[in-house]
Amino acid sequence: MSLRVRLAAAFAAVAVTTAVAVALTAPSIVGRGFAAMQDDGATGMGRGAGQGAMAGIHARQVQDETTTTLIAVAAIAAGVASLLGFAIASRMAGPLARLEASAASVARGELGVRSGLGDRSDEIGSLGRSFDAMAADLQATEVARRRFFQDAAHELKTPLAVIDATTSAVLDGVYPHDDRHLETIRDQSRLLARIVDDLRTVSLADAGVLPLRRGTVAVGPLLDDVTRDLGARATAAGLQLEASGASGLAVSGDPDRVRQVIVALADNAIRHTPTGGRIRIEARPASASVVIAVVDTGPGLAPADLPHVFERFYQADPARDRATGTSGLGLAIVRAVVEAHGGRVRVANEPGGGARFEIELPTAG
Q: What is the 3-state secondary structure (H, E, C) of the chain?
A: CCHHHHHHHHHHHHHHHHHHHHHHHHHHHHHHHHHHHHHHHHHHCCCCHHHHHHHHHHHHHHHHHHHHHHHHHHHHHHHHHHHHHHHHHHHHHHHHHHHHHHHHHHHCCCCCCCCCCCCCCCHHHHHHHHHHHHHHHHHHHHHHHHHHHHHHHHHHHHHHHHHHHHHHHHHCCCCCCCHHHHHHHHHHHHHHHHHHHHHHHHHHHHCCCCCCCCEEEEHHHHHHHHHHHHHHHHHHCCCEEEEECCCCCEEEECHHHHHHHHHHHHHHHHHHCCCCCEEEEEEEEECCEEEEEEEECCCCCCCCCHHHCCCCCCCCCCCCCHHHCCCCCHHHHHHHHHHHCCCEEEEEECCCCCEEEEEEEEECC
Residue 103 has pLDDT above 60, yes or no: yes
Instruction: Give the pTM.
Output: 0.59
Domain ranges (residues) in the chain: 3-107, 123-206, 215-362
Residue 1 class from Cβ within 10 Å (0-12 exposed, 13-18 middle, 19+ buried)?
exposed
Please determine, for residue 145, whether its predicted confidence score (pLDDT) is greater than 60. yes
Q: Looking at residue 198, what is its pLDDT? A: 79
Q: What is the pLDDT of residue 322?
A: 44
pLDDT for 323 equals 45
pLDDT at 90 over 90: no
What class, spelled out in words, does domain 123-206 have in CATH?
mainly alpha
Least confident segment among 36-40, 93-97, 111-115, 134-138: 36-40
Amino acid 116: pLDDT: 83
- For residue 321, name the pLDDT band (cuts at 50, 70, 90): very low
What is the identity of the amino acid at 227? T
Tell me what pLDDT residue 239 has.
94
CA distance 224 to 221: 5
Q: How confident is the model at residue 320 (pLDDT cuts 50, 70, 90)?
A: very low
Q: Decide if 123-206 and 215-362 have a common fold.
A: no
Tell which residue, 45, 40, 41, 35, has the closest CA to residue 66: 35
Average of per-residue pLDDT across 107-133: 84
What is the percentage of the chain residues whose pLDDT exceeds 90? 24
Task: Report the range of poorest mean pLDDT among 23-32, 72-81, 96-105, 151-160.
Answer: 23-32
User: Which band of pLDDT confidence, cut at 50, 70 and 90, is reported for residue 328?
Assistant: low
108 pLDDT more than 90? no
Mean confidence (pLDDT) of the chain: 80
Question: Given this model, what pLDDT does residue 319 score?
Answer: 42
CATH 3.30.565.10 at 215-362, yes or no: yes
Higher pLDDT, 228 or 20: 228
